[in-house]
């Protein structure tokens, strides 16, 4: 693989330049902080839920193009999904960027735009960049009941 | 020590650089003769670790093929041979850094272990609550954390000498921080992240005027510049084999004889013992007192071959050649719009840390890797230093004497491709 654009597809570059949902969410139901010790990048992901449906996702922080675009596209993909669908989507996304067979997670929503990250599996050093936002949102979902909101 | 700055010296340097047969040197490093991602490997991560000449690889192989045995106590032939080979390297290291005696050369695992040894032995024997240890903003985590640990253990306070925007230690500030409670100064000779060569002799002189001992982290200095510990008059000097074209797993601590001799042992067991009874133990003499356990015998022997190799090339010639490479890299990279070099000290080793506007260093590193160019990206184990510059990371190209001007140009082309991919 010699063309950097195999990894850095236009959609990734666009979302890196103008990330979607990079903002503060005042009335979040839960949030979590993710940290990539490899590059020192930090990300905070906030979610808003209506029962078990994700109604809003936002993130803050800045990192490399892969992590920023991944966070941006993730926020778009998760809106309107149930928590079960979100978990299934993460499993499928994770399998794709790690180059694993996706057969185990054929159920659930399709990857859609997220397939733009399929090239990441050829870059083992960058898998964590692609999954950072997902791990962080997972943490936010799992601890949603622990987080006390004053809103 | 560091390359002279006069005009006549410059001319000498240029002439020397031209006569330096880098292609012949490259043939001595088998690993460089490969392609990565379909392109000739351009290895510019020498500050992380250097490549090894065939002579080093052969010395290790020969040791295991012919002489392998444990050292020091065997009466049999192989042990005698291995011991002689191991101890011969101690003398080579002594000569390489201009130490007085072989007893002042302690073989350890790494520079990091050498710093920890001084923190836990010297530090523990002299530090009282409220005492101060003075480091600088330039330090690698390995010359920060052992002192933080010592401070936690003893109630001492860590002080940090600041740097200017060029990445140079501000000597006046350093001098001001050197107070009546300062018990030790621990400063780098060359910054791993920026390449700054610190005015280490002056730093040592200033500390000694207040009768404060100085440990020098020389890990990044020894590969680039001749080091003479007697001339520097440092109390401790720490460095590693693997950054000096030798194997990983071998570090050196130099310490002044009387100082080392007065220290308690670091670890117990093995070679550090003279005799043991259940009533007590007599510790061995220097340097064995600090070499508990079977050392990295093959590694030390390989390190000896690395020193021989460097001596044959000539440290002065290496420094002159690398200066030419550094000048070329600095000029070429700073001419690219959107590239900013971090660390612009007047005195620098051949390290260029840089950021590309609008592109995260990790993306720079990944694209360069696709072009066969190996650079390091990240905080370079110097997070406080990155913070000083308001950054979380940089990309860093660090050069050795086997790198060429063409490789600098390949790097520049690669950076231009990065900018193109990201829409410049």
Q: What is the DSSP string of B69-128?
A: ---SS--SHHHHHHHHHHHHHHHHHHHHHT-S-GGGEEEES-HHHHHHHHIIIIIHHH--
**pLDDT for the residue B281:** 83
Beta bridge partners of B215: B186, B236
From residue A48, give the alpha-carbon distance in Å to each of A25, A67, A70: 9, 21, 19
Q: Give residue limits of the domains in chain B.
A: 7-48+314-421, 57-311
Q: Give the closest-approach CA distance of B194 to chain A in angstroms.
A: 17
* B54, B151, B309 from B65: Cα distances, Å: 16, 46, 21
**Chain segment B107-126, per-residue pLDDT in tens:** 999 999 999 999 999 999 99
Domain limits, chain A = 20-142
Percentages helix, strand, coil for chain A (3-state, rounded to 5) are 50, 20, 35
B89/B295 Cα distance (integer angstroms): 13
Tell me whether residue B234 is one of the annotated catalytic residues.
Answer: no
Mutation target vs B (from A9, A15, A61, A64; most B CBs, 10 A cutoff): A64
Burial class (CB in 10 A: 0-12, 13-18, 19+), B180: exposed
Q: Where are the alpha helices (DSSP H) in B178-296?
A: 200-209, 229-232, 257-261
Q: What is the spatial distance between Cα A18 and Cα B291, in angstroms, rounded to a whole number? A: 57
Nearest C-alpha in A relative to B391:
A40
Contacts of B136 (CB under 8 A, 6+ apart): B160, B161, B162, B163, B169, B174, B187, B188, B198
- Regarding an ipTM greater than 0.90, the answer is no
Examine the pLDDT at B104 and tell me if it is beyond 70: yes
Q: What is the mean pLDDT of residues B59-81?
A: 95
Quote the pLDDT of residue B11: 41
| CA–CA distance, B174 with B177 (Å, rounded to integer) | 5
CA of B423, closest CA in chain A: separation in Å? 9
Output the six-digit token pair for B121. Answer: 């032995």
- Decide which of B272 and B350 is more confident: B350
Residues B82/B63, Cβ–Cβ less than 8 Å: yes
Strand partners, B40: B35
Closest CA to A46 of A145, A117, A133, A140: A140
Task: Provide the total of helices (H) and of strands (E) in chain A, helices listed first.
Answer: 4, 3
**Coil, strand or helix at A99:** coil
pLDDT at residue number B283: 86
CATH number for the segment(s) A20-142: 3.90.1010.10
Residue environment code for B119-132, b if the CB has 16+ CB neighbours within 10 A, otherwise e: bbbbbeeebeeebb
- Return the beta strands (E) in chain A as ranges: 30-36, 41-50, 53-60
How confident is the model over B335-376, as pLDDT tens digits? 999 999 999 999 999 999 999 999 999 999 999 999 999 999
Q: Which residue in A40, A66, A125 has the most chain B C-beta atoms within 10 A of its own C-beta, making it the best mutation to test that interface?
A: A40
Contact across the interface for A41 and B392, Cβ inside 8 Å = yes
Task: Identify which of B110, B176, B171 has the alpha carbon closest to the alpha carbon of residue B143.
Answer: B110
- Checking if the pLDDT of B10 tops 80, the result is no
Residue B171 has pLDDT above 80, yes or no: yes
Report the alpha-carbon distance of residue B281 to residue A68 in Å, rounded. 59
Query: Measured between CA atoms, how close is A74 to chain B, in angstroms?
Result: 20
Task: Name every residue whose Cβ is closer than 8 Å to that of residue B13 and which is 6 or more positions away in sequence.
Answer: B3, B320, B323, B324
Chain B neighbors of A124, CB-CB under 8 A: none
Task: Please state the rounded mean pLDDT for residues B234-260.
Answer: 98
- pLDDT band per the 50, 70, 90 thresholds, residue B1: very low
| pTM score, whole prediction | 0.91
Q: What strands lie across the sheet with B236-240, from one edge to the other?
A: B105-108, B251-255, B236-240, B213-217, B182-188, B132-136, B157-161
Q: Which of B305, B397, B392 is nearest to A38 (CA)?
A: B392
> What DSSP line would sit under B247-279, residue for residue?
-SS-EEEEE-HHHHHTSPPSS-SGGGEEEEETT
Class of domain B7-48+314-421: alpha beta
Best CA proximity match to B312, nearest among B98, B33, B92:
B92
Counting every residue written for chain A, the total comes to 151
Catalytic residue among B381, B382, B397, B410: B381
A102: its two tokens? 């996706």
Going by C-alpha positions, the residue among B109, B167, B107, B179 that lies closest to residue B139 is B167
> Please, what sign has the CA dihedral across residues B108, B114, B119, B122?
positive
Give residue B18's pLDDT.
Answer: 52
**What pLDDT does A102 receive?**
59
Residue pLDDT, tens place only, B185-197: 999 999 999 999 9
Label residue B6 by pLDDT band (50, 70, 90). Answer: very low
| Positions in chain A short of pLDDT 70 | 1-2, 39-40, 101-108, 144-151
Beta bridge partners of B232: none
Q: Which two tokens mark B16?
A: 């020397």
Nearest chain A alpha carbon to B393: A39
CB pairs under 8 A between A and B: 61
Look at residue B319 and give its three-state secondary structure.
helix
User: Alpha-carbon distance A100 to B92, whole Å?
Assistant: 51
CA–CA gap between residue B89 and residue B84 (Å, rounded):
9
- Tell which CATH architecture fits domain B57-311: 3-Layer(aba) Sandwich (3.40)
Residue A47 contacts by C-beta under 8 Å, 6 or more apart in sequence?
A: A25, A28, A29, A30, A31, A54, A56, A57, A78, A137, A140, A141, A144
**B186: β partners:** B215
CA–CA distance, B117 with B114 (Å, rounded to integer): 5
Any idea what the Cα angle at residue B334 is, between residues B328 and B338, rounded to 5°? Answer: 150
pLDDT score recorded for residue B59: 98
DSSP for B15-59, please give it.
Answer: HHHHH--HHHHHHT-GGGS-EETTEE-EE-BTTT-----HHHHHH
Among residues of chain B, what percentage have pLDDT more than 70? Answer: 96
Cis peptide leading into residue B136 (ω within 30°): no
Distance between CA atoms of A21 and B238, rounded to whole angstroms? 49
The B residues from 24 to 83 touching A (CB cutoff 8 Å) are 37-39
Mean pLDDT estimate for chain B: 94
- In this predicted structure, the answer to whether residue B217 has a pLDDT above a threshold of 80 is yes
How does pLDDT run across B293-351, given as a tens digit for each residue?
999 999 999 999 999 999 999 999 999 999 999 999 999 999 999 999 999 999 999 99
């Amino acid at each position: 693989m010699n063309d950097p654009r195999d990894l850095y597809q236009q959609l990734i570059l666009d979302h890196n330049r103008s990330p979607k949902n990079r903002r503060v969410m005042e009335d979040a139901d839960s949030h979590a902080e993710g940290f990539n010790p490899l590059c020192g990048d930090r990300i905070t992901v906030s979610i808003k839920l209506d029962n078990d449906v994700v109604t809003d996702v936002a993130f803050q922080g800045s990192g490399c193009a892969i992590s920023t675009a991944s966070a941006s596209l993730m926020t778009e993909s998760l809106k309107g999904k149930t928590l079960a669908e979100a978990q299934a989507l993460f499993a499928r996304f994770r399998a794709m960027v790690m180059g694993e067979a996706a057969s185990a997670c054929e159920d659930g929503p399709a990857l859609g735009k997220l397939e733009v990250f399929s090239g990441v599996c050829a870059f083992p050093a960058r898998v964590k960049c692609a999954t950072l936002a997902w791990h962080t949102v997972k943490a936010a979902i799992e601890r949603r009941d622990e987080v006390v909101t004053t809103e | 020590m560091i390359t002279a700055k006069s005009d006549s010296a410059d001319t000498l340097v240029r002439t020397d650089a031209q006569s330096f047969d880098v292609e012949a040197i490259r043939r001595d490093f088998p690993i460089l003769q490969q392609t990565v991602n379909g392109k000739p490997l351009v290895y510019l991560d020498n500050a992380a670790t250097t490549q090894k000449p065939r002579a080093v690889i052969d010395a290790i192989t020969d040791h295991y093929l012919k002489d392998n045995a444990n050292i020091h106590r065997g009466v049999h032939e192989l042990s005698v041979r291995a011991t002689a080979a191991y101890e011969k390297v101690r003398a080579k290291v002594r000569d390489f850094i201009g130490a007085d005696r072989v007893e002042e050369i302690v073989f350890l695992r790494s520079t990091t272990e050498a710093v920890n040894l001084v923190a836990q032995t010297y530090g523990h024997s002299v530090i009282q609550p409220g005492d101060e240890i003075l480091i600088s903003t330039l330090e690698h985590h390995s010359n920060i954390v052992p002192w933080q640990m010592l401070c936690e253990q003893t109630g001492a306070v860590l002080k940090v000498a600041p740097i200017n925007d060029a990445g140079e230690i501000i000597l006046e500030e350093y001098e001001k921080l050197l107070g009546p409670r300062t018990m030790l100064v621990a400063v780098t000779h060359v910054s791993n992240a920026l390449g700054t060569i610190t005015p280490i002799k002056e730093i040592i002189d200033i500390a000694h005027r207040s009768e404060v001992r100085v440990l020098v982290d020389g890990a990044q200095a020894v590969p680039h510049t001749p080091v003479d510990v007697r001339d520097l008059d440092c109390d401790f000097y720490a460095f590693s084999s693997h950054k000096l074209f030798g194997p990983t797993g071998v570090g050196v601590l130099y310490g002044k004889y009387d100082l080392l001799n007065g220290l308690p042992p670091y670890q117990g067991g093995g070679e550090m013992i003279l005799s043991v009874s259940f009533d007590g133990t007599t510790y061995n003499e220097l340097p064995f007192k600090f070499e508990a356990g079977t050392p990295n015998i093959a590694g030390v022997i390989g390190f000896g071959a690395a020193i021989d190799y460097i001596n044959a090339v000539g440290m002065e010639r290496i420094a002159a050649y690398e200066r030419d490479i550094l000048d070329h890299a600095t000029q070429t990279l700073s001419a690219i719009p959107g590239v900013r070099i971090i660390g612009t000290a007047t005195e620098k080793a051949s390290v260029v840390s840089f950021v590309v506007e609008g592109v995260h260093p990790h993306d720079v590193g990944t694209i360069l890797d696709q072009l066969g160019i190996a650079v390091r990206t990240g905080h370079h184990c110097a997070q406080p230093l990155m913070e000083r510059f308001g950054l979380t990371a940089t990309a860093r190209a660090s050069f050795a004497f086997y790198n060429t001007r063409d490789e600098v140009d390949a790097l520049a082309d690669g950076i231009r491709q990065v900018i193109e991919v990201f829409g410049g």
